[in-house]
Amino acid sequence: MPWRALTLQVEAGAADAMSEALLEAGAQSVSIDGPDRPNPTLCALVDLQLDPDTWLRAAARSAGLAATPRYSTAEIADEDWVRSTQAQFVPVEVGERLWIGPSWREPPADRIAVRVDPGLAFGTGTHPTTQLVLGFLERTIKGGEGVLDYGCGSGILAIAAAKLGAARVDGVDVDPQALATAGDNARGNGVELQPTLPPELRPGVYEVVVSNILAQPLIQLAPVLAARTAPQGALALAGILESQAAEVAAAYVPWLDMRLDSVLDGWALLAGRRR
């Protein structure tokens, strides 16, 4: 059947939140073009029967936007949607060990494969923020660690940690759809993961804690994430524009020694060590 492509622009800091809101509202896929620009472009593929005004207004409200973005539409044939969607999610190699790709691609024999198809949760390995945290995990996980992915989305980071050799991996998210998707992806990758809502997370600390969400939630979560990081444990934070890095890092300084670890396409990765 045909699909409708909605193209819109938002402020850079709202791109991820709007992308997640569009997926939660029922978009078949969402791509972000130019996330480091002042106004990134989002393209969402939706059912042709949906009323775009009503649908987009609800998604904008869910993402916390003050106004509904202006948009343009185009009709796309079903076979074109499948082709464009599959072309969009090309494999990504991270560091010396990881390969991230969809189920219709074959990984190199010398790479650890994490398979994640596009779906109703953020995280397929193509976004710079995801790649930054994957790179951190690839460098940090030596084997036997406990790892917490806070805001796990599709589960890609938790799955990668498990495949890299982490002994215990937990994921939490506030979105039930994300929890279901993460569980499905973990099973598809042969990984043991039972993602939960934050209040249901079992007690304990972790040698490695990662969180790829947005700057303001990360600031608010500083006491929570610090408390979950073991003494001398490692923390990695993403979903942060380079211009926001100093403010986010300052929120964690009471507990951790923080540094700007790396930058990709205008997005920053903060890393810290628990004192």
Q: Which amino acid is at 212?
A: N
Query: What is the rounded distance in angstroms from the CA atom of residue 191 to the CA atom of residue 183?
Result: 9
> Of all helices (H) and strands (E), which one includes residue 235?
strand 229-241
**Contacts for 191 with CB less than 8 Å, ≥ 6 apart:** 158, 159, 162, 163, 169
pLDDT in the model for residue 59 = 92
**Domain over 3-87 is classified CATH 3.30.70.260:** yes
pLDDT digits (tens, 9 = 90+) for 210-259: 999 989 999 999 999 999 999 999 999 998 989 999 999 999 999 999 99
The whole-number pLDDT of residue 119 equals 58
What pTM does this model have? 0.71
Distance CA 187, CA 101 (A): 16
Compute the Cα dihedral for 92, 208, 222, 121 and give only its sign.
positive
15 in Cβ contact with 34 (< 8 Å): no
Q: Provide the residue ranges of all domains of the chain, joining segments of one domain with +.
A: 3-87, 91-274
State residue 195's pLDDT score: 95
Alpha helices in 97-204, H assignment, sequence order: 128-140, 156-164, 176-188
Q: What is the model's pLDDT at position 105?
A: 81
The neighbour count for residue 181, using CB atoms within 10 Å, is: 25
* Whole-number Cα distances in Å, 100 to 126, 198, 266: 9, 27, 21
Is 79 exposed, middle or buried (CB count within 10 Å of its CB: 0-12, 13-18, 19+)? Answer: exposed
Q: Are 3-87 and 91-274 the same fold in CATH?
A: no
Q: Strand 256-264 relative to strand 229-241: parallel, antiparallel, unpaired?
A: unpaired
Looking up tokens 């003050």 gives: 66
Fold of 91-274: Rossmann fold (3.40.50)
SS3 247: helix
User: Long-range pairs for 161-166 at CB < 8 Å and ≥24 separation?
Assistant: 161/137, 161/208, 161/210, 162/186, 162/189, 162/191, 162/192, 162/193, 163/112, 163/113, 163/114, 163/189, 163/191, 164/97, 164/98, 164/112, 164/137, 164/138, 165/141, 166/141, 166/208
Residue numbers of the chain with a pLDDT score lower than 70: 1-2, 76-90, 118-124
- The Cα–Cα gap between 229 and 145 comes to 12
pLDDT for the residue 82:
47
Give the Cβ contact number of residue 203 at 10 Å. 5
